[in-house]
Amino acid sequence: MDKQTETELQAAAFRRLLQHLDERKDVQNIDLMIHGGFCRNCLADWYREAAEERGITMDKMEAREEIYGMPFAAWKEKYQKDASPEQVAAFEASQKKHG
Per-residue pLDDT of the chain (99 residues; tens, 9 = 90+): 999 999 999 999 999 999 999 999 999 999 999 999 999 999 999 999 999 999 999 999 999 999 999 999 999 999 999 999 999 999 999 988 765
What secondary structure letter does DSSP report for 95?
H
Phi-psi region of 79 (alpha: psi -120 to 50; beta: other; left: phi over 0): alpha
* pLDDT on residue 99: 59
Q: How many Å apart are CA 70 and CA 6, to the nearest integer?
A: 28
Q: Which CATH class is domain 3-94?
A: mainly alpha
